[in-house]
A = this chain, B = another copy of it.
């Protein structure tokens, strides 16, 4: 897809430049407006393919800006960004003709996906140039299913109870299959800075084996690599 012209209306410097950078990476041509007046001026001046509109703005509320845009019969797609998930804001924005609504803090990937979706809807894209597409937030191996959003795990359809760190370790393993990790590395990656003793890792691997190996004595997924650490094989 050849890039599109996107207007970012955002007064927070950090967010604005961050978004700008990412949109450029995605192949678009972003422009930034710092407040409501500037936004309206730019929308009138140039022909944008879409507008990313923060609600909290100096000089003019984002909703006012949206209203002004639509009042001038401009149908440019608008995604409204707000810090609050409040009912009123959302309903108001959609009523005023917003195309989508995102609340801060947003996952960057989500926002980019929505931008793509809105652009795609607004202007039918040609068949080969679709975006990378996110894959589901579900991980699997063998008969085990991990739902990251729900933070639930099932094995053969029946739910498995895991503690916080057990879950984290499991996810790390499944995301890095067939790779040997030293205990120290696992401590750093999963436990974070204040790492504990290497013995801790053993305990947790033991738990995972108890819960996911057919025969915990003879593990096929959570394999010990003597002298080096552990490896996960799907």
Contact = CB atoms under 8 A, between A and B. Distances in A.
Interface of A: 67, 70-71, 73, 75, 83-87, 90-91, 94-101, 103-105, 107-110, 113-114, 116-118, 120-121, 124-125, 127-130, 132-138, 140, 143, 145, 147-151, 154, 156-157, 163-165, 168, 171-172, 178-180, 185, 188-190, 192-193, 225-228, 231
A126 to B, nearest CB: 9
A109 B127 CA distance: 19
Contacts of A225: 151
Contacts of A168: 85-87
18 contacts: A67-B127, A71-B124, A84-B189, A91-B133, A95-B132, A97-B130, A99-B133, A100-B136, A104-B188, A109-B154, A110-B138, A113-B145, A118-B136, A121-B136, A149-B178, A149-B179, A149-B180, A164-B227
A24 to B, nearest CB: 16
Contacts of A84: 189-190, 192-193
B148 A136 contact: no
Copies in the complex: 2
**Residue among A108, A117, A151, A188 having the largest count of chain B Cβ atoms under 10 Å:** A117
B149 A128 contact: no
B164 A179 contact: no
B108 A157 contact: yes
Contacts of A113: 138, 140, 145, 147, 154
A14 B110 CA distance: 37
Contact of A148 (B87, B97, B143): B87
Given A113-B154, A149-B180, 4 more contacts: A71-B124, A87-B171, A97-B130, A165-B227
